[in-house]
Amino acid sequence: MTVVTTSRKPAPEVRTLARDLAFSIGAEYLTRGKAGMGDLFSFEGPVLIVSKSGPFFLIQMYDGGEPAAEIRVRSFAVEERAGAIARGLFVSDRSVYEALKDHVDVAFAGESLTGNRIVFDGTQRRRYTLKVTP
């Protein structure tokens, strides 16, 4: 099973982003606490770590203890979702799609999204739009 967690001392917006990301892809959210990287890698399946690094948010993916992908997010917006919930990630950047497709529920949105974006639906009628840096 895929696990989503945060850095050890996350800001509230990082924690909320990680929880809703886990919800969207059907993963388990794990409160990090004092768990080290070895503890995280003991889980079966991919591990996503959401953190804030300077002006960027960072989503690091590990599979089998090895780095599989790293996505830099410049910013994100949250809006109220209208209509039915859509599960999974919708990605407009081909390289991000290729990095994620073997590990999480992701769909290539292509021309339907402008720019380098990741869109997903979280809990409580939230829709996230992440602006990815190339």
Nearest alpha-carbon partner for 27 in 62, 1, 45? 1
Which CATH number does the domain housing residue 55 bear? Answer: 3.40.50.10480
pLDDT value for 39: 85
Mean per-residue pLDDT pooled into runs of 10, the chain (134 residues) = 91 96 96 85 90 94 93 96 94 92 91 84 96 89
Residues with Cβ < 8 Å from 97, sequence gap 6 or more?
91, 106, 108
- pLDDT at position 74 is 95
Of 106, 86, 84, which is closest to residue 95 (Cα–Cα)?
106
How many domains does the chain fold into?
Answer: 1
Predicted pLDDT at 70: 95
Task: Please tell me the predicted confidence (pLDDT) of residue 103.
Answer: 92
Tokens of 74: 């410049």
Would you state the pLDDT for residue 8? Answer: 87
Cα–Cα distance list, 54 to 37, 57, 96 (Å): 21, 8, 21
Q: Which residue segment(s) compose the domain that 128 sits in?
A: 3-132
What is the pLDDT, as a whole number, of residue 96? 92
What pLDDT sits at residue 81? 95
Do residues 52 and 7 touch, judged by C-beta distance below 8 A? yes
